[in-house]
Structure 1
Amino acid sequence: MATSFPRIVDSAFGHPRGLAGRIGGAIMARANAATERELVAEAGLRHTDTVLVLGPGPGVGLAAAAAAASAGRVIGVDPAEEMLRQCRERCAEQARTGHVRLHRGDAEDTGQPDGSVDVLLTVNTLHLWPDRTRALTELYRVLRPGGRLIMSAHRMLLEGSPATLRLDVECAGFTRVLLRLNDRRGLLGPSYELHAGRPENR
């Protein structure tokens, strides 16, 4: 039992699949909804922006981004087919018209062209990145010069200190790095919110 419980948790939230993944998606849709919508609102998306939502889960933030970038393009990248399926259901009309596109990938391999994204959003995926340096390098690559990275990560799931996260982001080439603790109380308590940008001339 002790060894099976972590597997159940992983199949529900870490790498969602099967029945556990469907249940996990429903829980995430409720637990992360406020954070995802707030992050989209804080991003101040322009209606023509190209937005990449990394790890959209069941698609709550993806739908919010699609509503804000109504004449742009919104891309959801997730490694779990179950989450992509739930995104297709939640954003069915936008996916049908091509306004929302879904791609199976992860933080280290988004499958997107160089400099193709205006804003990159991600909520509670940081602890799932096997190699933070490689992931940040990839996210920097897909952002256009002047593009922005906005992420939220549960404090209790953050590996290392906030200062280390900030340093890692800066070492990947990002500038204008702002990191703050948002004391919004979710299921897992407060979250860190990070805003950073790719320089205009790089």
Structure 2
Amino acid sequence: MEALARPLLIRGFGRPSGPLGRLGGRLMALGNAATERHAVALAAPAERDVVLVVGPGPGVGLEAAAERSAHVIGVDPSDVMLAMARRRCAAQIRRGRVRLAPGTAACTGAPDASADVVISVNTLQLWPDVPAALRELHRVLRPGGRMVLSAHEKWLPLALPALADTVRAAGFGAVRAWTWEPPTRMAPTAALLSAVRP
């Protein structure tokens, strides 16, 4: 059963593709919306900040970030998710506030020290190599840049204190980790982590 379930979860949520990926995207848009908006509010991007959204999925957080910043970049490995985000953020894309590209947490394609803010919601549990992804996000942030990560607490690959230690080991400072209850019955407890590149 587990051998069958994993490929279905990957096609629906991990690297969404086909009809199952589109269904997964709709479920993400509903279930993750409050956490996506909360993560953007915590990161508090300003109009001039360059915001990198890693794994924007159907684009709810991307859209929220573009309400605050004129320079939002979303990277996602899924063509289905990029298409859904493109539709949701069509007006912001036309205005030049949002740009989308293929990419992952470990390979964003962004230049060194090019982002002021990095945000990622419910992708951490899918990163094959968490330390490598954190090193990449550290690389793309400018000194003083901030990162906000969130994932369903029950899906974390590490306990929250161990994850915070891994973030520190990647070179981040001012690391904070806590849990938050989204104001919707569809979403379980969220683990949140914020950090700053010194």
**Superposition TM-score tier, normalisation by shorter sequence:** over 0.9
- Cα RMSD of the aligned pairs, angstroms, is 1.4
Identity of aligned residues (%): 49
Match of 2:142 among 134, 141, 144: 144
CA shift, 1:2, in A, is 5.8
CA shift, 1:160, in A, is 2.2
- Summarize deviations over 1:53-95 as a string: whole Å, max 9, x none: 00000000000000111xx310000000100000110111221
SS of corresponding position for 2:195: strand
Note closer, same or farther for the CA distance 1:198–1:112 as it changes in structure 2 (3 Å cut).
Answer: same
Q: How far apart are the structure 2 equivalents of 1:8 and 1:86?
A: 19
Q: Which amino acid aligns with 2:194?
A: H
SS of corresponding position for 1:194: strand
CA shift, 1:98, in A, is 2.5
Give the structure 1 partner of residue 197 of structure 2: 198
Gaps of 5+ in 2: none
Report the TM-score, using the length of structure 1 for normalisation.
Answer: 0.93
Range with greater deviation from structure 2 (111-120 or 176-185): 176-185
Gaps of 5+ in 1: none
Give the structure 2 partner of residue 169 of structure 1: 167
Task: Tell me if 1:18 matches 2:18.
Answer: yes
| Matches for 1:50-61 after TM superposition, within 5 Å | 50-61=50-61
CA shift, 1:5, in A, is 3.3
Asked if the contact 2:32–2:187 (Cα under 8 Å) also holds between the matched residues in 1, the reply is no
Report the TM-score, using the length of structure 2 for normalisation.
Answer: 0.95
Give the structure 1 partner of residue 88 of structure 2: 90
CA shift, 1:157, in A, is 0.4
| Matches for 1:1-202 after TM superposition, within 5 Å | 3-69=3-69, 72-184=70-182, 187=186, 189-199=188-198
Q: How far apart are the structure 2 equivalents of 1:157 and 1:65?
A: 25
SS of corresponding position for 1:68: coil
> What is the aligned length?
197
